[in-house]
Amino acid sequence: MSTTATKEQTKEEHIQEEINWLAAEEELEMERAQIRWEKVEAAQRAEEEKKKKKQEEAVEAEKEAQRRKREEAAVQWQRSGQMASSMEAGLSTEPEKQRKKKKDKGKGKAKEVEEDREEEEDEEEPSWPKKKWRIDKSGMGGDLDNDGPRGGDNSNNEDDDEEEEEAPSEMAEVLEELKELRRESAEMREEVQKMTEQQKRMNTRLKAFLAEQKGEEK
């Protein structure tokens, strides 16, 4: 084999090695891009699961708050009913005791007894309807001296309001993180596409170079 042929063969082998190296480099870079892409997708899935879990927890918290409110309302209503029954029983028995006591004093004082009874009834009647009206008006019972439907303690309502304010804030943060991950995913896809196009151009130039070399040999 002549020296010229040996040189040409060595040159072709070198070019083929370059092509093989570029192909291996391209494959390695594609694998790296795929790994990065899988990481981005995994992060997106994790954020979506986190968002879904927070939504479910918020719904459960709201249900629990509503359940507590219903239980508290039922207890207050029961207490107000018991209080009203006790007051009605007391008001119904007290005039009867006084009438019996006054009748025992004799028939000579019947007129005086009747006047006293009427005066006492006049004093009692205005106070009872007003208190009873407060109970009925509230719809949920509570302190008779408080015009509110459940008395003056609103600590439970304030806690519920704080929970409702925190839930939207957490949801906004999750949505913002999800948008950021989607943006990174789009950038990653664009980068992979650019690398693929660059590799295609390199392969085209190599093919043209090889064709040119073969033409010179002829």
Range name among 96-100, 101-105, 151-155, 156-160 with the lowest pLDDT average: 151-155
Mean pLDDT, residues 67-78 = 84
CA 155 to chain centre: 22
The more confidently predicted of residues 203 and 57 is 57
Q: What is the DSSP letter of 108?
A: G
DSSP string, 114-137: HHHHHHHHHHHHHHHHHHHHHHHH
Find tokens 């939207």 and name the residue.
168
The predicted-structure confidence for 30-43, as pLDDT tens digits, reads as follows 888 888 888 888 88
> Measured between alpha carbons, how far is residue 182 from residues 174, 177, 178, 185 in Å?
12, 9, 6, 5
pLDDT at residue 204, rounded to an integer: 81
Helix (H, G, I), strand (E, B) or coil at 97: helix
> Measured between alpha carbons, how far is residue 201 from residues 170, 174, 194 in Å?
47, 41, 11
What letter represents residue 37's amino acid? W
pLDDT at residue 12, rounded to an integer: 80
The predicted-structure confidence for 95-108, as pLDDT tens digits, reads as follows 565 656 655 655 55
> Measured between alpha carbons, how far is residue 37 from residues 24, 190, 198, 200 in Å?
20, 11, 19, 21
